[in-house]
Structure 1
Amino acid sequence: MSRGIGEFDGIQGAIPDWLAIGIALLTQLGDIWFIALLLGGLYWWQVAPRADIATVAGVWLAGIGLYRGLKEVFAFPRPNELLLDPAELPIVVQQVYESTAFATGYGFPSGHAVGTTIVYFGLAHVLPIRTRRRRFVIAGGLVAAVSVSRVALGLHYVVDVVAGVGVGLVLLVTVQALISRSQLDQVIVAGLVAIGFGVFYVVTSAGAPAAILTLTITVAAVAGWRWLDSG
């Protein structure tokens, strides 16, 4: 299957070398470590009702299990079109670039696109900041920026990020529909979906350690919320 016809010439060719580091840093807005810190901070400082933040986190965990499971199912490789040869950079800058602009594993769908779509649009729905329209415009801009950065860095084809955004949106809408029809706590609903997709990832990866760890973290998060909520 050809997924990369013509994408890189148009995007990478328009980016000067000096901007490569900035793009590598921009893509961190979709990294797991950054999103975990963001959600943890919002939860701790109660910027919105904690149940709402925890629900977004639950859908995000569901997205991780889903996109990683889909990667195993499709097993489509990443492109081999680096934006910049790290050897051309000063040694200090080179280390920063290599730690932020590289990825391994399968490429379809883009996990960054899935995660940013779920988290930023999810937060736009629940945060009481500015107007709803402005929140969604900002969320859309962040999702687009991270998605373009993944293609620009040569880590994904365009179809990977488009599919990732689609997966994230479908998952958000699906979980919201389940919550509206369920008598269970909204966080528990999102958590159960996350556990289900965690199991999906374990099965599709034939019990890979990363999949088992993902499922374990998800179960612990749901149990932790249940304990906090009951207390």
Structure 2
Amino acid sequence: MRFEEQSAIVRELFPAEYAEFVVAVTELGGTTVLMAVLAVLFWSGWRRRSALVISYAVAGLALLLSIKALFGLPRPPEDVLLLPLEEEREGYGFPSGHAFAATVVYGGLVAASDRTRDVRALAAAGTLVALVSLSRVVLGVHYLGDVIVGAVLGVAFLAAMARLAGDDPRRGFAIAFGLALVTVVVAGATEDSLLGLGGAIGGLCSAGWIDRLPDLRTRLETGALVAVGSGGAAAIQVAEATVSFVPALVALYAALVAWVFLAPIAVGRLGIGATGTFRA
């Protein structure tokens, strides 16, 4: 049951003049924004915990794509769209990937920081998930049932990953790699499935260096690392947009995740003063 009638009520309650605001809110559950948040946290010194959540996000992407392909349920009809968002019409509609991803990332950050009993942290994460989920219904790209199931699956997935991966990002990426291989078979070699596969490979190859990275000494160093890291990630994404060869796409996605983890080493060796001395 996808709650089609209840979804129509939600859409009718929201004023159309705030459509652009809804689009901005929905981006908080998109892959680009979520990975940017996790990358900045990593470059700011919150390394092992954010790396763990990145492994959750990559594994979760692979799992959700398989679930979507297995159910094969369509999105709501085009005439209910709040805005003509062609890119939002792609793929299947059940369950909601944005609701799932927001739950995994924002909830994962709460869990990774051992704040699951902190009411304020839980409320903040819950509010973000609720806003992202409602934005999907208001935009007309999901039904209410899609986002509810997506969020519930996200909570269950977090619990499973916490048990299976513990606090080791490498385990998380190993799980992600296995799920990604299944997804490529089930859902095909789509852009998202290749992102999951490449991300898992990149994480497996680079996560072992996390505890050996140089320490950040000043806020200036942190800012420089965030700036250089963001520039490198943007360059990889620009290159990705020009490539259609499947192995090259997987390699670029792997490089993107590896760059997040290894940027402190690269910046240190460039001698621009962003980090301290690398510990061999």
Specify the alignment match of 1:222 in structure 2. 204
C-alpha separation in 2, matches of 1:212 and 1:121:
25
Q: Which residue of 43, 55, 58 corresponds with 2:55?
A: 58
1:157 aligns with 2:143: yes
- CA RMSD of superposed structures (Å): 2.3
More off after superposition, 154-163 vs 208-217: 208-217
CA drift of 1:227 comes to 3.9
Specify the alignment match of 1:202 in structure 2. 184
- 1:142 is matched by which residue type in structure 2? L
1:84 aligns with 2:82: yes
CA drift of 1:209 comes to 5.4
- 1:85-115 deviations in whole A, cap 9, x for unaligned? 55xxxxxxxxxxx48x834110111110110
Structure with greater Cα Rg: 2
Specify the alignment match of 1:71 in structure 2. 68
CA drift of 1:160 comes to 1.0
1:124 aligns with 2:110: yes
Specify the alignment match of 1:190 in structure 2. 172
Total equivalences in the alignment: 211
Q: Is the 8 A contact 1:111 1:164 kept in 2?
A: yes
More off after superposition, 77-86 vs 151-160: 77-86
Specify the alignment match of 1:91 in structure 2. none
CA drift of 1:221 comes to 1.9
- 1:121-153 deviations in whole A, cap 9, x for unaligned? 111223489x82201110001001100110111
Specify the alignment match of 1:24 in structure 2. 23
Q: Is the 8 A contact 1:117 1:143 kept in 2?
A: yes
Q: Is the 8 A contact 1:30 1:113 kept in 2?
A: yes
Distance 1:206 1:189, change over 3 A: same
Specify the alignment match of 1:92 in structure 2. none
CA drift of 1:210 comes to 4.2
Distance 1:154 1:194, change over 3 A: same
C-alpha separation in 2, matches of 1:219 and 1:154:
35
- 1:73 is matched by which residue type in structure 2? L
TM-score, normalisation: structure 1: 0.83
C-alpha separation in 2, matches of 1:179 and 1:211:
21
Q: Is the 8 A contact 1:12 1:83 kept in 2?
A: no
C-alpha separation in 1, matches of 2:38 and 2:191:
25
CA drift of 1:158 comes to 1.3
Q: Which residue of 111, 117, 122 corresponds with 2:97?
A: 111
Q: Is the 8 A contact 1:202 1:211 kept in 2?
A: yes
CA drift of 1:224 comes to 1.2
C-alpha separation in 1, matches of 2:129 and 2:35:
16
Distance 1:4 1:132, change over 3 A: closer
Specify the alignment match of 1:179 in structure 2. 165
C-alpha separation in 1, matches of 2:114 and 2:156:
24
- 1:165 is matched by which residue type in structure 2? A
C-alpha separation in 2, matches of 1:85 and 1:53:
34
More off after superposition, 205-214 vs 25-34: 205-214
- 2:59 is matched by which residue type in structure 1? A
Q: Is the 8 A contact 1:20 1:83 kept in 2?
A: no
